[in-house]
Amino acid sequence: MSNLLADSSPSDISWIGSVQAFMLMLVGGIAGPIYDAGFAREVLFVGSFLIVLGQMMLSLCTEYWQVFLAQGISIGVGTGLIFVTGVAILSTYFSTRLALGLGIAATGSSIGGVLYPIMFYKLQPSIGFAWASRVMGFVALATLAVSNLCFHVRVKPAGRRALVDLPAWKEVPYLFYNFGSFLAFIGLYTPFFYIATYAIEEDIMGRELAFYIFSVLNAASTFGRILPNIVAGKVGPLNILVPCMAMTGVLCFCLIAARTTAAIMTIMALYGFFSGALVSLPGTVYVELAGPTNRAKIGTRMGQGFALVGVGILIGSPVSGAIRVRYGYTAVWAFAGAFCLFGSAVVSIARFAQAGWALRKVV
């Protein structure tokens, strides 16, 4: 917004990140059957190549459509390919405490969310945008090389799975959980996209300090991907997910009154923690909803759900950008908060449909 794409609107720019997240979810669902067919190592390699390629090509971009292809499409498809592959291979190494294992693994992206912005912010003034982008590409190359070298399929898939499972949509808990997640994720990433520009444009903090909001948010998200998963192992993932989802909505509304640096940093730290649970818990939720009779279809059901969530991510941030231009930031935070709260209410219906009205039941 400030430099490379200064001529593009905030809504147009947010489409890049939204498409990237959408491709992560959509391609992740498609990559599952490819993994099951025995091409796990090939999927990981191609995904790694596309991530590095997209980051390197970013250093050469000068126009919007070029950035869209590099960041939105290339990196989006690449992350989608390695996402399901990573979760699938990890799940074969755990017989118990899978939720905790997946939560710890999910902290990698939040730690990256702390380091990459700081890396770029410190390098860009001294070596320029192009080389700062390339350095990030080389870091991705090095870390993904380790993954490719260490990758080992411990248990081969029992067989190919179907791309869709239409009867699953007739199950009330599954239907309402996916619809609720879709609604929540429409608003969930709005603060990620607009909190820094809000702090700068409203003269709450300077550019240098505002840049570190992302690091604070992602650092808190690291704990939000572990601690709720530990508790979920005792009380059930849905019992944890519903209040965490509701808290993201409440915190979005709190941003309306945030007019100081301390207020924004505190809210974003809490937001990072509670939103972290929404990233790390869904895999365990799908296992819970499937039950023992549908365990063989968990991958398919997860892929369907992620694809729907991806649509929510795709439309949420661009709509927030359009709202920002016309009505201002107060409307943006209200929009995001309302969808997160609405989503939590719908997911709570899934919880009660699955386990009844007994609040202490593990589900």
Give the Cα-Cα-Cα angle 49, 304, 151 (nearest 5 degrees). 35
C-alpha closest to that of 214 among 197, 228, 229, 226? 197
Position with higher pLDDT, 22 vs 184: 184
Q: How confident is the model at residue 209 (pLDDT cuts 50, 70, 90)?
A: confident
Query: Hunting for tokens 């890396």 — which residue is that?
Result: 119
Q: Return the pLDDT at 177.
A: 95
Q: Return the pLDDT at 298.
A: 73
**What's the predicted TM-score (pTM) here?**
0.85
Query: Which percentage of the chain shows pLDDT scores above 70?
Result: 94
Q: Looking at residues 159-169, what average pLDDT do you find?
A: 76
Is the separation of the CB atoms in 229 and 281 below 8 Å? yes
Q: How confident is the model at residue 12 (pLDDT cuts 50, 70, 90)?
A: confident
Average pLDDT of the chain, as a whole number: 87
pLDDT digit string (tens) for 115-142? Answer: 888 888 889 889 988 999 999 999 999 9
For residue 345, is pLDDT > 90? Answer: yes
pLDDT digit string (tens) for 245-289? Answer: 999 999 999 999 999 999 999 999 999 999 998 988 887 888 788
CATH topology of domain 10-151+167-355: Growth Hormone; Chain: A; (1.20.1250)
Q: Return the pLDDT at 36.
A: 67
Q: Return the pLDDT at 55.
A: 95
The CA-atom distances, in angstroms, between 327 and each of 73, 141, 320, 334, 340 are 30, 42, 10, 11, 20
Q: Return the pLDDT at 302.
A: 80
Is the separation of the CB atoms in 121 and 135 below 8 Å? no
For residue 250, give the H/E element and its range.
helix 237-254
For residue 296, is pLDDT > 70? Answer: no
Stated length of the chain: 363
Q: Return the pLDDT at 257.
A: 93
pLDDT digit string (tens) for 297-340? Answer: 777 788 788 888 989 988 888 899 889 989 999 999 999 999 99
- Residue extents of the structural domains in the chain: 10-151+167-355
